[in-house]
Chain A
Amino acid sequence: MKIVVCIKQVPDTTEVKLDPVTGTLIREGVPSIMNPDDKGGLELALELKDKYNAEVTVITMGPMQAEAVLREAFAMGADKAILLTDRKFAGADTLATSNALAGAIRTLEYDLVITGRQAIDGDTAQVGPQIAEHLDLPQVSYLQNLKYDGKKTFTIKKATEDGYQVVEVDSPCLVTVLATANEARYMTVRGIVEAFDKPVEVMGADKIDVDESKLGLKGSPTKVKKAFTKGVKSAGQVYEVDTEEAVGIIISKLKEKFII
């Protein structure tokens, strides 16, 4: 089995601060990390590697510095890595990003494409499903758990707003994974030592068969209308009471606010 995992390098948003004047992120001096959902996706791939000897290729689109997440992926156990980098990719929105990634994936053999559910900086959760559409693949989003029959079929538990669904899908397909789907492994010491001896394949726009008008700023129809800081919510109140009392409290609170 061959697996491709899309990994995004993101600023560690637990350490990001907002510029109080412009309302935009202050990215300077903020450490970059592997997007948490993508780490879950990589862990899923590595578990399939452990069990079924799958070959795991990781791919990221970003500036040269994004190579760091590929080295981290090597240290966790990935086999191959591709860095998609080119000035022509700059300024990409989700559509242009997914066009570039899909273009690169098209040059590879794959049975399973894995992306994170969403990136913690963009938070759109669009790139995974868009890649599936470009590649004409069946997709299962919000993966919590996956079982493989060893041949062609995956049985997947996916999160929904009010519970979960269990679906079956045949390879090749694309899944988007939640960070909570598993507990990502640590890099190993040996993996770290050897990660820098492995080759990272660098791909530019010339290596993928995607029209330039679909890449980078040119290929990005998204316009940001306004960025603003959300109002602060006051802290909630926690009651530790039995069910009956809880119902009473909820009803009286709802009445208090004239909701019922």
Chain B
Amino acid sequence: MDFSLKIEEELFLQMIREFAEKEVKPLAAEIDELEKFPTELVNKMGKIGLMGIPVPVKYGGQGGTNQMYSMAVEELSRSCGTTGVVVSAHTSLCVAPILENGTEEQKMKYLPKLASGEWVGAFGLTEPGAGTDAALQQTVAVDAGDKWILNGTKIFITNAGFAHVYIVIAMTDKSQGTRGISAFIVERGTPGFSIGKEEKKLGIRGSSTCELIFENCEIPKENLLGKVGRGFGLAMKTLDGGRIGIAAQALGIAQGAMDETVKYTKERKQFGKAIAKFQNTQFQLADMETKVQASRLLVRHAAYKKDQGMPYSVDAAMAKLFAAETSMEVTTKAIQFHGGYGYTREYPVERMFRDAKITEIYEGTSEVQRMVISGNLLK
């Protein structure tokens, strides 16, 4: 078993670390405080290829791997959880389903602009009544001959306020249950499509989370993504891939908190010595580091399997479950080691703690990941 990185992955890590350190880290506090979508960073990331890593060159992408993509989300999130999820939702939830399910025309039309970062992508599955139970779709798409007419509302959609392309899941035949659900590509500016209320959030505050509202929204016939009635499967497969991205985000946030905590415990003195000299600190740091590294191996393994074309859905679920819960635990302890200072915005662990929580919720809650893992075990 070879756990070493490939030479191009080593070079990629060198680049992404330098980029995150120089370009992302200095903006993270402001992105959070002002709930500011990182448009400037998206432009910069687009220029060097970070908005289209696993997209083939012929579609304007970079020809990179899912491994590189997950490393990118990890390293970006280590500095800024918002920036990590902007890239993750864009790549995993919009670019990937077009790449994996789109017609040649759809790929040529959408991928070059998405992969270059000129356009940002989003994905609308969740509705007020359809959360974990995503099959309960109320949004409907009616076949009107030469077009589809959409009606309904999506909530909690990442990147919504700044995206150009939205993958939208809707019911096309209620009588067929999950087999009556289809997926569509909707562009910003389509008449009848508007962006609703923006959520005020605990964490990842710079990511724009809004409603999508469809009122007799007419979209061209050719904007059906995949086949009619296959939208639920498409959404579930899309989320499998997305979970690698969110696992990498959780991992990155945890690593960021580790970096801060190691530094702080060596500097902060109480009772005449650095708090790192207390055995409690040492043992807890050892446990935290072990869990972070275990998360990393799970994430890399899931990404590796996706790159190899092997089934990875359970691996992605395990990676997300473990990395998300590790992220929550590590950021909580990071604040504890910072004492009162950690509870203030003077130190980044306060933000990391708030950013970590969402990783246990979106793209399938931790409970859902346990269902996926145990379902496979007991089938």
Contact string against A for B residues 9-39, beta-carbon threshold 8 Å, 1 for contact and 0 otherwise: 0011011001100000000000000000000
Are A192 and B12 in touch, CB under 8 angstroms? Answer: yes
Q: Which chain A residues numbered 225 to 239 have a C-beta less than 8 Å away from chain B?
A: none
Highest count of chain B CB atoms <10 Å: which of A71, A186, A189, A190: A189
Binds B, one of A40-48, A124-132, A193-201: A193-201
The complex places the Cα of A195 from the Cα of B68 at a distance, in Å, of 15
Binds A, one of B57-65, B103-111, B282-290, B315-323: B57-65
Interface residues on A, range: 10 to 19
Contact string against A for B residues 47-68, beta-carbon threshold 8 Å, 1 for contact and 0 otherwise: 1111011000100011110001
The complex places the Cα of A75 from the Cα of B8 at a distance, in Å, of 10
Q: Of A75, A189, A194, which contacts B53 at CB under 8 A?
A: A189
- B5 contacts partner chain A, Cβ-Cβ < 8 Å: no
- B7 contacts partner chain A, Cβ-Cβ < 8 Å: yes
Q: Which chain A residues numbered 178 to 218 have a C-beta less than 8 Å away from chain B?
A: 185-196
Given contacts A195-B8, A196-B7, contact A190 B15 (CB under 8 A): no
Are B19 and A193 in touch, CB under 8 angstroms? Answer: no
Are B62 and A190 in touch, CB under 8 angstroms? Answer: yes
- A72 contacts partner chain B, Cβ-Cβ < 8 Å: yes
- In the complex, chain B residues whose CB is within 8 Å of the CB of A187: 11, 14-15, 48
Q: Which residue of B lies closest to A197 (CB)?
A: B8
- In the complex, chain A residues whose CB is within 8 Å of the CB of B64: 189-190, 192-193
Q: Which residue of A lies closest to B60 (CB)?
A: A190
A234 to chain B, nearest CB (A): 22
Q: Which chain A residues numbered 82 to 137 have a C-beta less than 8 Å away from chain B?
A: none
- In the complex, chain B residues whose CB is within 8 Å of the CB of A72: 11, 14
- In the complex, chain B residues whose CB is within 8 Å of the CB of A192: 8, 11-12, 15, 64
- In the complex, chain B residues whose CB is within 8 Å of the CB of A191: 49
Are B7 and A189 in touch, CB under 8 angstroms? Answer: no
Are A190 and B63 in touch, CB under 8 angstroms? Answer: yes
Interface of A is mostly: helix
Given contacts A193-B62, A193-B63, contact A188 B8 (CB under 8 A): no
A112 to chain B, nearest CB (A): 26
Contact string against B for A residues 154-187, beta-carbon threshold 8 Å, 1 for contact and 0 otherwise: 0000000000000000000000000000000111
The complex places the Cα of A189 from the Cα of B19 at a distance, in Å, of 12
- In the complex, chain B residues whose CB is within 8 Å of the CB of A190: 49, 57, 61-64
Are A189 and B50 in touch, CB under 8 angstroms? Answer: yes
- In the complex, chain A residues whose CB is within 8 Å of the CB of B47: 188
Are A189 and B48 in touch, CB under 8 angstroms? Answer: yes
The complex places the Cα of A68 from the Cα of B10 at a distance, in Å, of 11
Are A188 and B49 in touch, CB under 8 angstroms? Answer: yes
Highest count of chain A CB atoms <10 Å: which of B12, B49, B63: B49
Are B11 and A189 in touch, CB under 8 angstroms? Answer: no
Are B62 and A195 in touch, CB under 8 angstroms? Answer: no
Q: Which residue of B lies closest to A186 (CB)?
A: B48
Are B68 and A189 in touch, CB under 8 angstroms? Answer: yes
Highest count of chain B CB atoms <10 Å: which of A71, A187, A191, A192: A192
The complex places the Cα of A191 from the Cα of B57 at a distance, in Å, of 11
Q: Which residue of A lies closest to B53 (CB)?
A: A189
- In the complex, chain B residues whose CB is within 8 Å of the CB of A194: 63
- In the complex, chain A residues whose CB is within 8 Å of the CB of B11: 68, 71-72, 75, 187, 192, 195
Are A186 and B19 in touch, CB under 8 angstroms? Answer: yes
The complex places the Cα of A49 from the Cα of B374 at a distance, in Å, of 56
Highest count of chain B CB atoms <10 Å: which of A68, A186, A187: A186
Are A189 and B62 in touch, CB under 8 angstroms? Answer: yes
Highest count of chain B CB atoms <10 Å: which of A72, A190, A191: A190
The complex places the Cα of A112 from the Cα of B12 at a distance, in Å, of 30
- In the complex, chain B residues whose CB is within 8 Å of the CB of A196: 7-8
Q: Which residue of B lies closest to A189 (CB)?
A: B49
The complex places the Cα of A250 from the Cα of B307 at a distance, in Å, of 65
The complex places the Cα of A68 from the Cα of B8 at a distance, in Å, of 10
The complex places the Cα of A187 from the Cα of B50 at a distance, in Å, of 11
Q: Which residue of B lies closest to A72 (CB)?
A: B11
B47 to chain A, nearest CB (A): 8
A10 to chain B, nearest CB (A): 15
- In the complex, chain B residues whose CB is within 8 Å of the CB of A185: 48
- In the complex, chain A residues whose CB is within 8 Å of the CB of B7: 71, 196
- In the complex, chain A residues whose CB is within 8 Å of the CB of B49: 188-191
The complex places the Cα of A194 from the Cα of B7 at a distance, in Å, of 12
A11 to chain B, nearest CB (A): 15
The complex places the Cα of A195 from the Cα of B15 at a distance, in Å, of 13
Q: Which residue of B lies closest to A76 (CB)?
A: B15
A73 to chain B, nearest CB (A): 11
- In the complex, chain A residues whose CB is within 8 Å of the CB of B14: 72, 187
The complex places the Cα of A72 from the Cα of B53 at a distance, in Å, of 18
A140 to chain B, nearest CB (A): 29
Q: List 6 A-B contacts (CB under 8 A).
A: A68-B11, A187-B48, A188-B62, A189-B68, A192-B11, A196-B7
Taking A71-B7, A193-B62, A195-B11 as known contacts, 16 extra A-B pairs with beta carbons closer than 8 A to each other, sorted by chain A number, are: A75-B11, A186-B15, A186-B18, A187-B11, A187-B15, A189-B15, A189-B49, A190-B61, A190-B64, A192-B11, A192-B12, A192-B15, A193-B8, A193-B64, A195-B8, A196-B7
Question: Interface residues, chain A, CB within 8 Å of chain B?
Answer: 68, 71-72, 75, 185-196
Question: Interface residues, chain B, CB within 8 Å of chain A?
Answer: 7-8, 11-12, 14-15, 18-19, 47-50, 52-53, 57, 61-64, 68
The 10 A-B pairs at the shortest CB distance, nearest first, are namely A189-B49, A189-B62, A190-B62, A187-B15, A188-B49, A186-B48, A188-B48, A189-B64, A193-B63, A192-B11
